[in-house]
Amino acid sequence: MLEKAKELQEIENVRNKTLYALYGAVEGLDISKIMKIMNSEFFIKEIAVDIPVYYSPLGEGNISKGYGMILFTDKNLYSGAIDQGIKRGKGIAFQLTESDGEQGYYYYQGDWNDDIPNGKGKTLEVVTKKAKDGGKSTFKIVTEGNFSNGTEMDSMMKYFYVNEEEVGRVSYTSRNGIPMPLNDENGQPLPTDGERYPIGVIVKNGEPTEDYYYVEPGTLWGVKPFVPCYNQPVIK
């Protein structure tokens, strides 16, 4: 009995230390540390099995008001301000993803209201893809601007990276997640490319190019998984 109690206490101690370390890593956006913890056998078998898991940096289980962390799955969490059990204020939603057999990640950092991204914030998505020659490339898309009920709203900016090198960016306007057509100096929509329409000028190396960023009709952008996004942005 004593040995069993001692073993359980040791597991509880490691559990608390792990959650403390994860909370700190998320608050500091230490991606490598976050992924190391969430991929660890202890986290998966001893912590994530009890989801949802609520953690307070004050050591209290009740985080109905203040700051804390909620684990929704072994790959999905929120850390930040909580009011009456609802995400409200500044916070980060982080999730592990997988594409082409390679692990990646996605997060939203910014303002929340009524459990949904509302206000100023940014998303960052990283995926790794395999090439035919066996090599790998890492692609990253950063989106900054305002969000309304999880959808992109008003002035937005997207940055595109390949292997950590910026390869382009585009500034555009969204309405409820729908990127708006770019107009000419007379306020008229610019020509389309088939069904695709331009939303902004592609900027490379800090200089505007002569190329436009085109999207398909029906495109909807916002914060995953709060918005069922359609026609995901691609690296240009």
Residues 6 or more apart whose CB falls under 8 angstroms from that of 148 comprise 118, 176
For residue 166, what are the β-bridge partners? 161
> Tell me: the pLDDT tens digits for 40-81?
999 999 999 989 998 988 765 667 678 999 999 999 999 999
pTM above 0.85, yes or no: yes
Per-residue HEC secondary structure of 145-175 comes to EEEECCEEEEEEEEEEEECCEEEEEEEEEEE
Amino acid at 56: S
Backbone conformation region of residue 35, classed left if phi is above 0, alpha if psi is from -120 to 50, else beta: alpha
Residue 236 has pLDDT above 60, yes or no: no
Average pLDDT (185-191) is 89
For 233, the token pair is 């942005």
How is residue 46 written in tokens?
Answer: 């001893």
